[in-house]
Amino acid sequence: MASAIGELLNVLPIATRKVTETNLQRAMPELDEITRKELVKSSLCETIKAGLELGHMWYASLESVTGRIRTVHGFELVENAKASGKGIIYAAPHLGSWELLGIYLSTLGPMTTLYKPAKIDGLNELIAHSRAKGGAKLVPTNRQGVVKLTKALKQGESTGILPDQQPKRDGGVFADFFGVPAFTMTLLPKLAARTGAVVLLAYAERLPGNQGFDVHFREADPDVYSENSEVAAAGLNRSVEACVRQIPAQYQWEYKRFRKRPDSEAPEGKSQPFYQ
């Protein structure tokens, strides 16, 4: 179904396709036109797959969801972090099935995560229940929630954060992402600095032919631990980029990651639109 819908979206003049094309033109200029068009189509299909999977992730049992995982790569990184007694920050980009990944991560030990309620009440209850069924504790995305999260990490617990989500104006700095300045969160590096937590990149790769998923863990770029916000943000983006390059079609390229632009791109005081 996703392949058929993706094929349709690829020929329609819709914003989703246009944003995907714009992001890939800027982020991967080395690709020839034919390769890029194929990647756009594959990306749209993978995005539809992610949407169609949500029902299973939300309604199915914990055993059914985690039973779709075939292989876990780099799990020794998790074991080493646990052995150190430090907390773990799982930086989980919008790559593959991040909904499945979050459920799986919550089964690995005590976990506290920030959660912003959905605008639809019934949907909010469903999502919250799904994300908590593996044992995760959800806290609000406000100052009180961050305080609780910090305390949990200091006690050696874990959390999961989407590192490629554009933050609010006072919560980020500009750093290159695929060679393009992107407004990048400072929360994750600050939490690592305050708590001494280990930062691990994590994503769930969707296998072809409905075979399930492989989970991958990778070490973060060392600069993520820098006390300099710009250096840490650049390290975080390099870490995410390294994951995306493994399975570029499964990244959420339709997200307007580069919407906010640095002042240097508008020398006359007028913001230059990135997306037409």
pLDDT of residue 276: 67
Is the pLDDT at 116 greater than 60, yes or no? Answer: yes
Average pLDDT over every residue of 146-166: 95
Please name which of 184, 161, 162, 164 lies closest in space to residue 260, comparing C-alpha atoms: 184
- What distance in Å separates the CA atoms of residue 202 and residue 240, rounded to the nearest whole number? 9
CA distances from 248 to 82, 91, 228 (A): 30, 17, 29
Average pLDDT over residues 35-63: 92
Q: Tokens for 21?
A: 């094309």
The more confident residue out of 128 and 249 is: 249
What was the pLDDT predicted at 156?
96
Where are the chain's structural domains? 68-252
Residues 6 or more apart in contact with residue 216 via CB below 8 angstroms:
72, 73, 74, 201, 202, 203, 204, 205, 243, 246
